[in-house]
């Protein structure tokens, strides 16, 4: 029962015929070249079950393909996941990042020129075949040998020339050219264009001329060479006769080749005639030209002459009237020389010239051609017939032997056997060295050694062999000769002429010659071929590592190496070798590329295009983009042009954009190079203002770039790395501060004013504060030491209502605090009314003022202190009350600074957050070590005293970081200042301080909107005629240094400037603090010194950071030599490297 219902398919393989329609053979599409994708993998058994199951169903066969297998789509599963899964566990991520231990592998060769470990152990082979050595000069050469060598050399030269046979070639060329001219001139032939023929004929002619010259030269050389050979041979013969023996078997035979006298003569004559006629033609041409020139110049001359004559006539008349003129006019200008007509061409002269030259350079007609033949057929006189000296020479030669060392990469790898020097000074080695190498050869050198008898060997010379190109393999390499020479000096006591010593052929010793040992090594260097026919050459990629320069000829494409995908041919080859399925759609792009590349029709650009899809994304053509106002606005905004930086809601339509939007911008662009003089006092200031504007712009641009450059700290708020001391106070300092501020909401409140030395008993001062067109004043107080204790509130409005940091930083408003005296005048005229009414007039007398820039309050957040009041030098009707001061015991403190003071406290409510300065790391030319040291120093200082200013590097006007001590260097103050008080150094110092203080003050924060503090050098400062405290301080300090004072720059906080720079000088017993901007100076213990805290001192060669408990100048010791009080930047650990000044 069960079996009827259930069907269990068989696991056996179904025969193919069952799966196909009857009488159909299975087709294998893949064999027919069609692409069949890889089938998904299914177990054979499962497949059989499936097939069996399908076959039992009725239309079973349609499930089978032509090849009798179940139809299947190509497997859709990729080899690798294309997208990492989103929900990967942390552990699996870590697994990816987990490091894998690999056993350390020792490198066998540590050379940088090593073949990579990937390559099979590189057994590359270089075959060096040294066949022999010939000395072209050797100390043991006899005179005859010298001549023989010379003769051999000349003969070689002759043979080489003969082989090239340049003279013959040129003669043929000349002939051909002449023929061409002839045919060109032939009038019978039809001319395609007369013009061109004329031109070509001219060209031919010039070429004929050149060729003839060349040929003549060659012929002359040939002849000269032949003559020299004969001369040397004659010399040799005479020498042999003279010494009555011969050392060399050299023999020169001159073979005469008979020529047909008549024909030769005819040819010669014809040649000469042709030449003459050509020369004649040339000369006539030249003559014509010259004649033309002559005519024109003659005309000119004639005209001049005529004019001269007319002048003379006039002069004659004139001279009668004014005889004095004669003398003056008598100095005539240089007469043009009368031109001489050129000589006409003389045929006879030319003929003479040509014949002369022919006789010189050519064989005379009919003369037999001489063919020298050098042979070794001569006999050498045997020893017993030679004189003693010669015999000893020969014996000496016999004692000498030569061998060669082969050096590979400057290491000796092998050497030849030592061979005796032959009588002909030839050595035959015939040895082949097989160098098994790993590396690409760096150099191949042969060293020639000579051994004399049993004494030591001497190195004669080194021969450098060229490294063969990769195409040169054994069997194909030609034998090459490399010359060598040695600078050895050898003098011998026998017939040998020696080396490097003069000798002569003449009996009287004249005509001396100095010859050096020299010779030739004949060798053959090639790459060996392995057993399988592959040359054993190290891969080229290797040679590129170390020897790029040495092997410039290396093939560029093959040196690309493994990235051979760029090379189409390689790619195609690879495709062919790896038998890519051309029908696989996966390979389609590759195949297409290869087919295009190999067809050679493709245009392979030799450039690389960035953003090649840019065209696709252009939504409007460029013209429209440039025309449209909207697009212009958008572009300017994205470029952050100041006018448009914050432009909001750029209108949709061009018509909604008003022309005037661009007006300011365009005006600025125009004005950029125009200097307006009417706004300024003089042009210099205008130029400076312009310059400052440009500096400002460039700084702002840098700033804007920096603004887009975020650090982690800008984006992420994170606790700093905690240390023990900080753990106890985890609250953020800024937070506590703000709370404190909220508790004391006092605004501009001059609390009390210190004493007035204005000796009027009834002085009734009051204070008026004005800020941004708002004026407030206090009530009137009585007496010269009034106390108001009042709070004044003045509203503050940011420009354009923009309370952003940038705009607040650029507020240039000042707070003016004026002190007035209120005087009551009784104006009642009628005494009778005095009982019934009071009639008084109130008058205000201005006593002085204090000016505080808003930027100071903004950056300081609050100002609290006593300020010196600027009072006019003379206050009429007021006098100082001295005894009162004496009473109060201020005398010692006030001895140096007398004046009126006001104590006040200013803050802003609510608190405005001061902008943070950019901490962009500006590039620097300082040493990297120094920069690191500065960072360390600053970090250390900030850790100890976070509120104290520590300055080590500053930014100069070009935006570079400069070490601060470079700014300090003695600079001479103007001589005029020194001459005023030649004997009073203190007065001179005060004068210098006043001079510096007179230079206008321009705070950087205003000019650079809080971007950064730029330090200009004193030179730039004097040039710009404006600067802030640092520039003043630097200049003053430099002047003081040149005056011989001990001076430092003091970085600290002062009132009202805030963080600022003062100058400290050491007098005999005390220290003086100078305010560079006002020119005032204060003693160290002056209570009214505006400098309230000292952060660091900067000298020309060091920086000292204040590590004392207090920072008020009153309470600190300025002795920088004490390391417990002052932390110095340069110390024994980091000595002062001697930085040069930027001044």
Binding residue (CB under 8 A) for another protein from 116, 266, 651, 877 = 651
In angstroms, rounded to a whole number, what is the distance separating the alpha carbons of residues 1027 and 1001? 5
The answer to whether residue 225 forms part of the interface with another protein (CB under 8 A) is: no
Cβ proximity to another protein: between 557 and 713 the closer is 713
Nearest CA among 296, 495, 490, 512 for reference residue 392: 495
The answer to whether residue 33 forms part of the interface with another protein (CB under 8 A) is: no
Compute the CA torsion angle 1049, 1054, 1057, 1063 (nearest 10 deg): -20
In 730-752, which positions are buried (b, 16+ CB within 10 angstroms) versus exposed (e)? Answer: eeeeeeeeeeebeeeeeebbbee
The answer to whether residue 975 forms part of the interface with another protein (CB under 8 A) is: no
The answer to whether residue 198 forms part of the interface with another protein (CB under 8 A) is: no
Cβ proximity to another protein: between 61 and 726 the closer is 726
Burial class of 228 by CB neighbour count within 10 A (0 to 12, 13 to 18, 19+): middle
**Where does this chain touch another protein (CB under 8 A) — which range of 266-274, 501-509, 649-657, 790-798?**
649-657
Q: What is the smallest separation between the CB atom of 54 and another protein, expressed in angstroms?
A: 43
- How far is CA 174 from each of CA 177, 379, 602, rounded to the nearest angstrom? 5, 46, 45
The answer to whether residue 634 forms part of the interface with another protein (CB under 8 A) is: yes
The answer to whether residue 213 forms part of the interface with another protein (CB under 8 A) is: no
Residues 722-781 close enough to bind another protein by CB under 8 A: 722, 730
Q: In 419-474, where do the E strands start and end?
A: 419-420, 426-437, 444-452, 457-465
The answer to whether residue 1069 forms part of the interface with another protein (CB under 8 A) is: no
Q: Give, rounded to a whole angstrom, the gap between the first and last alpha carbons of the chain.
A: 114
In angstroms, rounded to a whole number, what is the distance separating the alpha carbons of residues 675 and 661? 24
> If binding means CB under 8 A, how many residues of this protein chain bind another protein?
35
Residues 658-697 close enough to bind another protein by CB under 8 A: 658
Contact of 174 with 209, CB cutoff 8 Å:
no
Binding residue (CB under 8 A) for another protein from 1, 534, 716, 874 = 716
Query: Per DSSP, what are the bridge partners of residue 819?
Result: 767, 848
Residues 54-93 close enough to bind another protein by CB under 8 A: 87
Cβ proximity to another protein: between 87 and 874 the closer is 87
The answer to whether residue 637 forms part of the interface with another protein (CB under 8 A) is: yes
Q: What is the smallest separation between the CB atom of 705 and another protein, expressed in angstroms?
A: 11
DSSP string, 1022-1079: HHHT-B-HHHHHHHHHHHHHHTT-EEEEEEEEETTTEEEEEEEEE-SSSEEEE-TTT-
Binding residue (CB under 8 A) for another protein from 276, 650, 806, 1134 = 650
In angstroms, rounded to a whole number, what is the distance separating the alpha carbons of residues 612 and 553? 34
Q: What is the smallest separation between the CB atom of 87 and another protein, expressed in angstroms?
A: 6
In angstroms, rounded to a whole number, what is the distance separating the alpha carbons of residues 421 and 448? 13
Cβ proximity to another protein: between 17 and 803 the closer is 803
Q: What is the smallest separation between the CB atom of 627 and another protein, expressed in angstroms?
A: 12
Binding residue (CB under 8 A) for another protein from 654, 666, 676, 739 = 654
The answer to whether residue 631 forms part of the interface with another protein (CB under 8 A) is: yes
Angle (deg, nearest 10), helices 194-243 and 166-185: 160
Binding residue (CB under 8 A) for another protein from 483, 493, 555, 714 = 714
Cβ proximity to another protein: between 103 and 648 the closer is 648
The answer to whether residue 709 forms part of the interface with another protein (CB under 8 A) is: yes
Q: What is the smallest separation between the CB atom of 973 and another protein, expressed in angstroms?
A: 47
Provide the 10 A C-beta neighbour count for residue 103.
5
The answer to whether residue 620 forms part of the interface with another protein (CB under 8 A) is: yes
Provide the 10 A C-beta neighbour count for residue 398.
14
**Is 527 strand, coil or helix?**
strand
**Where does this chain touch another protein (CB under 8 A) — which range of 397-405, 517-525, 629-637, 1053-1061?**
629-637
The answer to whether residue 656 forms part of the interface with another protein (CB under 8 A) is: yes
For the chain, what is the radius of gyration of the CA atoms? 53
Cβ proximity to another protein: between 706 and 884 the closer is 706
Contact of 462 with 412, CB cutoff 8 Å:
no
The answer to whether residue 569 forms part of the interface with another protein (CB under 8 A) is: no
Cβ proximity to another protein: between 195 and 719 the closer is 719
Q: What is the smallest separation between the CB atom of 886 and another protein, expressed in angstroms?
A: 59
**Where does this chain touch another protein (CB under 8 A) — which range of 332-340, 715-723, 1099-1107, 1119-1127?**
715-723
**Where does this chain touch another protein (CB under 8 A) — which range of 422-430, 449-457, 642-650, 928-936?**
642-650
Cβ proximity to another protein: between 97 and 874 the closer is 97
DSSP alpha helix (H) spans, 876-1017: 882-888, 891-894, 928-944, 975-980, 985-997, 1004-1007
Q: DSSP class of residue 759?
A: -
The answer to whether residue 610 forms part of the interface with another protein (CB under 8 A) is: no
**Is 375 strand, coil or helix?**
strand
The answer to whether residue 646 forms part of the interface with another protein (CB under 8 A) is: yes
**Is 785 strand, coil or helix?**
coil
The answer to whether residue 710 forms part of the interface with another protein (CB under 8 A) is: yes
Binding residue (CB under 8 A) for another protein from 655, 678, 740, 1133 = 655
Contact of 816 with 771, CB cutoff 8 Å:
yes
In angstroms, rounded to a whole number, what is the distance separating the alpha carbons of residues 715 and 487? 74
The answer to whether residue 715 forms part of the interface with another protein (CB under 8 A) is: yes
Binding residue (CB under 8 A) for another protein from 80, 603, 607, 653 = 653
Cβ proximity to another protein: between 506 and 718 the closer is 718
Contact of 219 with 362, CB cutoff 8 Å:
yes
Cβ proximity to another protein: between 369 and 804 the closer is 804
The answer to whether residue 242 forms part of the interface with another protein (CB under 8 A) is: no
Q: What is the smallest separation between the CB atom of 617 and another protein, expressed in angstroms?
A: 9
DSSP string, 248-263: ---EEEEEEE---HHH
The answer to whether residue 717 forms part of the interface with another protein (CB under 8 A) is: yes
Nearest CA among 549, 587, 596, 530 for reference residue 569: 596
Q: What is the smallest separation between the CB atom of 721 and another protein, expressed in angstroms?
A: 6
Cβ proximity to another protein: between 238 and 638 the closer is 638
Q: DSSP class of residue 408?
A: E
Residues 484-543 close enough to bind another protein by CB under 8 A: none
**Two tokens at 468?**
């063969």
Rounded to the nearest 5°, which phi and psi values hold at 81? -70, 135
**Where does this chain touch another protein (CB under 8 A) — which range of 270-278, 328-336, 414-422, 618-626?**
618-626
Nearest CA among 750, 743, 747 for reference residue 790: 750
The answer to whether residue 647 forms part of the interface with another protein (CB under 8 A) is: yes
Provide the 10 A C-beta neighbour count for residue 584.
15
Binding residue (CB under 8 A) for another protein from 2, 718, 831, 976 = 718
The answer to whether residue 566 forms part of the interface with another protein (CB under 8 A) is: no
Binding residue (CB under 8 A) for another protein from 562, 649, 725, 947 = 649
Contact of 75 with 41, CB cutoff 8 Å:
yes
Cβ proximity to another protein: between 348 and 715 the closer is 715
Residues 323-362, mask of contacts with another protein (x by CB under 8 A): ----------------------------------------
Cβ proximity to another protein: between 189 and 655 the closer is 655
Residues that bind another protein (CB under 8 A): 87, 619-620, 624, 628, 631, 634, 637, 646-658, 708-712, 714-719, 721-722, 730
């Amino acid at each position: 029962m069960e079996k009827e219902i259930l069907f269990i398919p068989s696991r056996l393989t179904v025969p193919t015929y069952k799966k196909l329609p009857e009488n159909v053979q299975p087709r294998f599409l893949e064999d027919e070249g069609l692409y069949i994708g890889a089938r998904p993998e299914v177990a054979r058994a499962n497949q059989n079950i499936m097939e069996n199951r399908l076959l039992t169903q009725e239309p079973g066969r349609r499930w089978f393909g032509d090849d009798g297998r179940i139809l299947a789509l190509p497997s859709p599963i990729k080899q690798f996941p294309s997208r990492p899964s989103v929900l990967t566990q942390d552990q699996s991520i870590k697994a990816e990042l987990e490091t894998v231990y690999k056993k350390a592998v020792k490198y066998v060769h540590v050379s940088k020129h090593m073949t990579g470990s990937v390559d099979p152990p590189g057994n590359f082979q270089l075959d060096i075949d040294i066949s022999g050595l010939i000395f072209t000069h050797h100390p043991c050469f006899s005179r005859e040998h010298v001549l023989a060598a010379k003769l051999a050399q000349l003969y070689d030269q002759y043979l080489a020339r003969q082989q090239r046979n340049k003279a013959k070639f040129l003669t043929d060329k000349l002939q051909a050219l002449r023929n061409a001219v002839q045919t060109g001139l032939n009038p019978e032939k039809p001319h395609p264009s007369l013009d061109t023929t004329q031109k070509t004929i001219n060209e031919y002619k010039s070429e004929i001329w050149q060729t003839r010259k060349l040929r003549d030269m060659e012929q002359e050389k040939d002849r000269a060479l032949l003559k020299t050979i004969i001369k040397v041979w004659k010399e040799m013969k005479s020498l042999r006769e003279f010494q009555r023996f011969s050392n060399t078997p050299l023999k020169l035979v001159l073979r005469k080749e008979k020529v047909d006298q008549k024909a030769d003569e005819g040819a010669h004559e014809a040649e000469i005639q042709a030449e003459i006629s050509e020369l004649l033609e040339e000369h006539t041409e030249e003559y014509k030209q010259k004649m033309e020139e002559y005519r024109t110049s003659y005309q000119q001359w004639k005209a001049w002459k005529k004019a001269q004559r007319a002048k003379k006539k006039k002069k004659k008349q004139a001279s009668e009237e004014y005889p004095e003129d004669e003398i003056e006019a008598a100095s005539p200008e240089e007469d043009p020389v009368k031109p001489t007509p050129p000589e006409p061409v003389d045929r006879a002269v030319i003929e003479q010239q040509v014949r002369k030259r022919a006789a010189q350079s050519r064989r005379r007609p009919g003369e037999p051609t001489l063919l020298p033949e050098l042979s070794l057929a001569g006999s050498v006189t045997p020893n017993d017939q030679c004189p003693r000296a010669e015999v000893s020479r020969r014996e000496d030669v016999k004692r000498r032997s030569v061998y060669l060392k082969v050096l590979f990469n400057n290491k000796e790898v092998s050497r030849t056997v030592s061979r005796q020097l032959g009588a002909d000074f030839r050595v035959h080695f015939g040895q082949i060295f097989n160098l098994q190498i790993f590396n690409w050869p760096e150099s191949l050198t042969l060293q020639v050694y000579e051994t004399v008898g049993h004494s030591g060997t001497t190195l004669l010379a080194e021969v450098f062999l060229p490294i063969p190109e990769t195409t040169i393999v054994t069997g194909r390499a030609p034998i090459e000769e490399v010359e060598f020479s040695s600078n050895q000096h050898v003098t011998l006591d026998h017939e040998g002429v020696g080396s490097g010593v003069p000798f002569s052929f003449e009996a009287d010793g004249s005509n001396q010659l100095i010859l050096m040992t020299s010779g030739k090594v004949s060798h053959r260097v090639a790459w060996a071929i392995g057993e399988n026919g592959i040359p054993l050459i190290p891969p080229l990629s290797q040679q590129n590592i170390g020897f790029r320069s040495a092997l410039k000829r290396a093939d560029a494409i093959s040196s690309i190496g493994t990235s051979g995908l760029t090379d189409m041919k390689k790619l195609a080859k690879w495709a062919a070798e790896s038998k890519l399925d051309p029908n696989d759609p996966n390979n389609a792009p590759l195949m297409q590329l290869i087919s295009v590349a190999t067809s050679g029709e493709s245009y392979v650009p030799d450039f690389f295009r960035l953003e090649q899809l840019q065209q696709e994304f252009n939504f409007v053509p460029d013209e429209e983009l440039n025309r449209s106002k909207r697009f212009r606005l958008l572009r300017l905004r994205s470029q952050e042009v100041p006018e448009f930086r914050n432009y909001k809601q750029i209108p949709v339509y061009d018509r909604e954009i008003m022309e005037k939007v661009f007006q300011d911008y365009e005006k600025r662009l125009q004005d950029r190079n125009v200097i307006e003089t009417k706004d300024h006092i003089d042009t210099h200031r205008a130029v400076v203002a312009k310059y400052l504007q440009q500096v400002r712009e460039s700084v702002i641009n840098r700033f804007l770039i920096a603004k887009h450059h975020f650090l982690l700290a800008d984006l992420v708020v994170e606790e700093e790395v905690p240390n023990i001391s900080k753990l106890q106070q985890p609250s953020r300092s800024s937070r506590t501060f703000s709370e404190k501020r909220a508790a004391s909401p006092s605004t501009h409140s001059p609390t009390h004013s210190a004493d007035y030395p204005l000796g009027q008993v009834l002085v009734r001062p009051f204070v008026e504060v004005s800020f941004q067109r708002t004026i407030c004043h206090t009530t009137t107080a009585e007496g010269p030491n009034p106390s108001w204790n009042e709070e004044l509130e003045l509203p503050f409005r940011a420009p354009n209502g923009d309370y952003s940091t940038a705009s607040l930083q650029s507020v240039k408003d000042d707070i003016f605090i004026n002190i007035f005296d209120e005087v009551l005048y009784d104006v009642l005229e009628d005494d009778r009314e005095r009982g019934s009414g009071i009639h008084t007039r109130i008058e205000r007398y201005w006593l002085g003022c204090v000016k505080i820039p808003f930027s100071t309050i903004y950056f300081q957040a609050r100002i609290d202190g006593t300020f010196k009041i600027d009072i006019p030098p003379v206050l009429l009707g007021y006098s100082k009350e001295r005894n009162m001061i004496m009473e109060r015991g201020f005398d010692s403190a006030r001895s140096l600074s007398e004046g009126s003071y006001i104590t006040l406290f200013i803050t802003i409510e609510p608190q405005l957050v001061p902008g943070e300065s950019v901490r962009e790391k500006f590039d620097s030319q300082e040493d990297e070590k120094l920069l690191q040291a500065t960072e360390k120093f600053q970090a250390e200082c900030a850790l100890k005293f976070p509120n104290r200013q520590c300055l080590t590097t500053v930014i100069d006007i070009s935006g570079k970081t400069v070490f601060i001590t470079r700014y300090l260097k003695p600079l001479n103050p103007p001589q005029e200042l020194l001459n005023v008080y030649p004997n009073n150094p203190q007065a001179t110092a005060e004068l210098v301080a006043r001079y510096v203080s007179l230079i206008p003050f321009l705070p950087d924060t205003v000019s650079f909107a809080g971007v950064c503090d730029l330090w200009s050098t004193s030179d730039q400062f004097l040039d710009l005629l404006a600067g802030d405290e640092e520039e003043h301080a630097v200049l003053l300090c430099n002047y003081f240094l040149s005056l011989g004072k001990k001076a430092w720059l003091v970085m600290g906080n002062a009132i009202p400037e805030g963080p600022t720079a003062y100058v400290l000088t050491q007098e005999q017993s005390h220290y003086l603090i100078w305010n560079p901007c006002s020119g005032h100076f204060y003693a160290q213990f002056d209570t009214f010194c505006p400098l309230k805290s000292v952060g660091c001192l900067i000298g020309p060669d060091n920086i000292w950071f204040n590590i004392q408990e207090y920072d008020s100048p009153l309470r600190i010791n300025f002795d920088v030599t004490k390391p417990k009080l002052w932390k110095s930047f340069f110390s024994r650990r980091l000595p002062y490297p001697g930085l040069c000044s930027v001044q």
